[in-house]
Amino acid sequence: MDARVNYFGNALAGKVMKHLNSAGAAVHSALPVATQELVKIRASQINGCGFCTDMHTKDAAAAGEDQQRLNLVAVWREATVFTDAERAALELAEQGTRIADGADGVSDEAWANATKHYDEDQLVALMSLIAVINAYNRINVINRQPAGDYKPGMFG
């Protein structure tokens, strides 16, 4: 499979990615790396973004994430390997990614649960992270960006 356009070689795309990357970097220190990667993986799975799923599972593994946890992200509700805080973040990621599926977007229950585990800056970071990964997912899905060749750290 080939991408529809060479997004990574396009000058305008480079400008867009610079801003998305900056937004993603702004939240980096507010949340544990493991939580960030779990959220990115789950949103990417839901959106069917093979490129981002490949990238973030590999980045998580390179950062020391346990393979069993990576294998169980899609079924996190039934898995015993995630903390309550990670579960709250994954629920927020799912509901924030599936906004169109719920009449009220993100439920008050999911939000209240997240507030038990994260302070205001961390909640802002989670919301922002979910929005940014969804933007990346949409770009890659629309472009049919192939998955499988990502190497951790290849984007700097």
As for how many domains the chain has, the answer is 1
First to last CA, the chain: 25
**Residue 67 falls within a domain, yes or no?**
yes
Looking at residue 56, what is its pLDDT?
Answer: 97
The single residue listed with the structure tokens 């593994």 is 61
**Residue 150 falls within a domain, yes or no?**
no
Task: With a cut of 90, say whether residue 156 has pLDDT above it.
Answer: no
**Residue 53 falls within a domain, yes or no?**
yes
**Residue 111 falls within a domain, yes or no?**
yes
| pLDDT 10s digits, 23-45 | 999 998 899 999 999 999 999 99
DSSP letter assigned to residue 78: T
Instruction: Note down the domain range covering 78.
Output: 30-143
Looking at residue 103, what is its pLDDT?
Answer: 72
| pLDDT 10s digits, 99-130 | 988 778 899 999 999 999 999 999 999 999 99
Neighbouring residues of 29: CB distance < 8 A, sequence distance ≥ 6? none
Residue 35's domain is classified under what CATH number? Answer: 1.20.1290.10
Structure tokens of 13?
């795309």
What's the mean pLDDT in 67-88?
98
